[in-house]
Amino acid sequence: MLTYGVTDIQNKPSLIKMMDVAEIIDRRAHTTLGYFISSKYDSYIKPIIEQIDKDEKLAKLHKLKMHQDLEFAELGVDDGIK
């Protein structure tokens, strides 16, 4: 995978046409801004991204359900002390 700086792309926008997969970085801040993936790989990557998104949503729902189950369990306990 090639690495391109933001300034490189701004100075020569035609670089995007030549990229397949690339890392976009900000050299001044020394940070990675993201990754560029050519649209010709869309059919490969889109199902993977959708599966990851689905798995993350399911994990959040399971965590929420466990939390709600604990709240209902605490409300349902009656120790008889008044």
* Pairwise CA distance, residues 58 & 62, whole Å: 6
Q: How far apart are CA 23 and CA 6, in angstroms?
A: 10
What's residue 50's pLDDT? 94
HSE (CB half, 13 Å, CA atoms) of 70? 6
Which pLDDT tens digit goes with each residue over 10-44? Answer: 999 888 888 889 999 999 988 999 999 888 888 88
Average pLDDT of span 56-79: 75
pTM: 0.53
Percent of the chain with pLDDT over 90: 30
Q: Specify the pLDDT at position 80.
A: 59
